[in-house]
Amino acid sequence: MKNIFRILSLALLGILVISCEKDEDRAVINETVTGKVSADKSILTLNELTANDAVINFTWTKPTFNIAVVPSQEIEFGIKGDNFKKSAAIDFSNDVTTGSATHAAVNAAMFNIGATPDVVNDIEARLKTSVGSAYFYSNVITLKITPYTPNPDLVYPKINVPGAYAGAAGYANWTPANSPNLFSPEKNDSYRGFIWISNPTGDNGKYKFAINQDWPGNKGDDGTKTGKLVADGADIVPASAGTFYMKVDWAANTYSSVLANFGVIGDATPTGWGSDTDFVYSPATKTYVINSIMLSSTGVFKFRANDDGAMKFQPKKDDQALVSGKAVQTYFNAENTVEGDPGYKVSEAGNYKIELDLHNSAYYKLTVTKL
C-alpha cells in the first residue's frame, strides 16, 4: 500500500514539475508603449469617379512590447459611439508607419460597417495591431465621412449562369466570365436572381452554374431533375421561354427556377387594374423595357409577374413619387423586403419609358423617363 502511495506521489510531482516548466516557457506579451495614430484630414467626401485615388493619409507610431514580435497592423473603422462592435479595416504592411487609403477602400469599409451613403457619417478610426490572437489598440481619431453607394456588382458574392441561352441575352454562350449572374445579398451561400431565356428548344436554352467566372467547380443537375446539383453535373433545360427567378444554395447543392414575366399594372396606366402592359427584354441594355406608356399623375402603379400578385416589384414601404430619369432601388416582395402593398406614382402625366434593371438581386433598379 505504501509503495502504491509512493508511486502516485511521484507521478503527481512529475506532472506538477512539467506544468511549471510549461508555464515558465510560455511568454506573456505585454504592451510597453501604446501606438498612436493621426490623419492628414478629418472630413472626407468619397467619390466613385476617383475611386483609385488616395483620399486620406494615416501616420502612426507603432506600439512596443516586452518581447520581440512580428505584428500585423491595420486601420480599423467603426460608427462613432458603437465602440467598434461592427468594424472594418484596411491592412498595411508591418514595416511601415504611414499609409494612404483610396476612395474605394474607405468606401468599402463604410459599406461594411453600415454607414449611410450620400450623407455625413460620424466615424471613428484607430490603429489595430495584432500579435497572434492578441490585439492592441491606439488612440481613437474622429472623422466625418460621406460615402457613396457602392457598385453592388463589386461588393456582393455571385455565381455565374453560363449556357447556350446567354448569347441571345446579350452575353456570350457557355462563357462563365461573360454570363448572367446570381448574387448573394446576404453574403452567404444562397444566390438568387433573374435570367432571361429566349429559346428553350433543343440545346438552345441549356445552362449550368459556375463560380469564380470559370469552369472549375461548376455544378449541374444530378440527373434526377428534382432541383439537386452535383459537381460537373448535367446541363439544365428550362421549362419554357421567358424570365426565370432562380435560387441556388451552393452549399446544399440545390436549385429552383420559377417563371416570372413582368408587366406594369395600376390605375395610373391606360388599362387600370384590369390588365398588365408587359415588359420586353433588351439584350443591348440587359434590362426590361416598356418604351412608351401613358401614366397619369392621379394613380399608382407597380410591377407584377405572370399576371398575378404573388411576385411584385414595389417601393420598400410607402407609395413613392418618381423623378423622371432618376434611377431608384426597387424591391421584390417575394424576398420579404416590402412592407404593405405600396405603389409608384409620377407627379406629371404623360408618356414615359419604364426600365427595370434586374441583373443584380442585391440592387434591383427602376427608372422612369418622361418622353
pLDDT in tens, 275-289: 999 999 999 999 999
> What b/e sequence results for 264-295 when a residue is b if at least 16 CB atoms lie within 10 Å of its CB, and e otherwise?
bbbebbeeeeeebbebebeeeeebbbbeebeb
What pLDDT is recorded for position 133?
A: 87
Would you place residue 68 in the very low, low, confident or very high pLDDT band (cuts 50, 70, 90)? confident
pTM of the predicted protein model: 0.77
Give the span between the Cα atoms of 144 and 180, in whole angstroms: 38
What is the phi-psi region of residue 314: left when phi exceeds 0, alpha when psi lies from -120 to 50, beta otherwise? beta
Does residue 22 surpass a pLDDT of 80? no
Sign of CA dihedral 211, 213, 219, 220: positive
Four-point Cα dihedral 66, 70, 76, 81, nearest 10: -20
Would you place residue 27 in the very low, low, confident or very high pLDDT band (cuts 50, 70, 90)? low
Does residue 13 surpass a pLDDT of 80? no
Of 14 and 370, the one with more pLDDT? 370
Q: Are 56 and 75 in contact (CB under 8 A)?
A: no
